[in-house]
Amino acid sequence: MLHTNLSRLLASGGPKRLISTVNKLTTVEVNDKTGIAILTMNRPPVNGLNLELLQDLKSSIDEIEGNKSRGLILTSSSPTIFSAGLDILEMYKPDMDRCRAFWSQLQETWLALYGSSVPTAAAINGHSPAGGCLLATSCEYRVMVPKFTIGLNETQLGMIAPQWFMSAFLSVLPQREAERALNQGRMFTTEEALRVGLIDETANSKEEAIEKCAAFIGTFAKVNPLARSLTKQQFRAADLQQLKNGRKEDLEKFLFTVSQPALQKGLGIYLEGLKKKVKKQ
């Protein structure tokens, strides 16, 4: 009951204090009463994860870790897109120095979110392909609004999701389901995602999704915070360590992959397809 009241207060726009507007592409709002932080991505039109958005996400996660928030809810300011995943323009005909910085920042941001000491939840209020799905599956709980899609579609783009994308996916889905979905590059509708367990709940609006995420975070109200966070970290330690140990190799593989002419050709065709779709409407 206490948890429900807390989450209602949060979602009803109860006393909220904007504690950070420092970052250009993210905001952090901490509710004074509940202590839960809402981290909102705001890079129109599709929250494409470029270097700057990834930097802002990392610095917002650090801020939430540092200000003793009781939990983190990740969401988007767009009414239809949670995140379109990695900004393809960072990988298409890239400047290699920037591309290096981009991938290193993606690694850094993932380590911070997946390894966060506070309870994390994603209020998925729009489409969530690829890198968007990575962000959502790196959280501990997912609530999604109907009529959108989520999944790791990398193979559809001729790309291979790195091992740590798979780790986050596998922390949510059974191996058989995860392997098949990744091989197919499958995008799940909200209803399908609920059925396989890729999301935990559905909600009819962003506000309700945030309320349900807050209720999840409220379930830890009476649990010792240090014991909870160390337990979470033990569960995730092997996945985190695997990337920490292999960061350089992972970066080199990425740079090698994006410099392949066949991949560049495929990305060009994919981008063209996205643009043609816009013109048709």
* Residues known to be catalytic: 86, 131, 153-154
Q: Are 156 and 108 in contact (CB under 8 A)?
A: no
Cα separation values, 220 from 42, 184, 216, 225, 243, Å: 29, 36, 8, 8, 28
Rounded to a whole number of angstroms, the minimum distance from the CB of residue 274 to ligand LCMDX3IU is 4
In the three-class reduction of DSSP (H, G, I as helix; E, B as strand; rest coil), residue 32 is classed as: coil
**Cα torsion for 259, 83, 19, 120, to the nearest 10°?**
-100
- DSSP letters, 210-245, are HHHHHHHHHTTTTS-HHHHHHHHHHHHHHHHHHHHH
When the beta carbons of 123 and 134 are compared against ligand LCMDX3IU, the nearer one is 134
Rounded to a whole number of angstroms, the minimum distance from the CB of residue 128 to ligand LCMDX3IU is 8
Rounded to a whole number of angstroms, the minimum distance from the CB of residue 110 to ligand LCMDX3IU is 12
When the beta carbons of 37 and 139 are compared against ligand LCMDX3IU, the nearer one is 139
Say how far apart CA 49 and CA 60 lie, in whole Å.
15
When the beta carbons of 96 and 160 are compared against ligand LCMDX3IU, the nearer one is 160
Rounded to a whole number of angstroms, the minimum distance from the CB of residue 153 to ligand LCMDX3IU is 5
Cα separation values, 176 from 120, 139, 183, 196, Å: 25, 21, 11, 11
Site of tokens 């799905």: 133
Burial 193-208 (b: 16+ CB within 10 A, else e): bbebebbbbbbeebbb
When the beta carbons of 5 and 80 are compared against ligand LCMDX3IU, the nearer one is 80
When the beta carbons of 22 and 274 are compared against ligand LCMDX3IU, the nearer one is 274
Per CB under 6 A, residues contacting ligand LCMDX3IU are 45-46, 48, 80-81, 84-89, 127, 129-131, 153-154, 157, 159-160, 162, 253-254, 257, 274-275, 277-278
Of 162, 174, 135, residue with least CA distance to 151: 135
Rounded to a whole number of angstroms, the minimum distance from the CB of residue 86 to ligand LCMDX3IU is 3
Q: Are 103 and 251 in contact (CB under 8 A)?
A: yes
Say how far apart CA 175 and CA 82 lie, in whole Å.
25
When the beta carbons of 9 and 54 are compared against ligand LCMDX3IU, the nearer one is 54
Rounded to a whole number of angstroms, the minimum distance from the CB of residue 38 to ligand LCMDX3IU is 22
Say how far apart CA 56 and CA 75 lie, in whole Å.
14
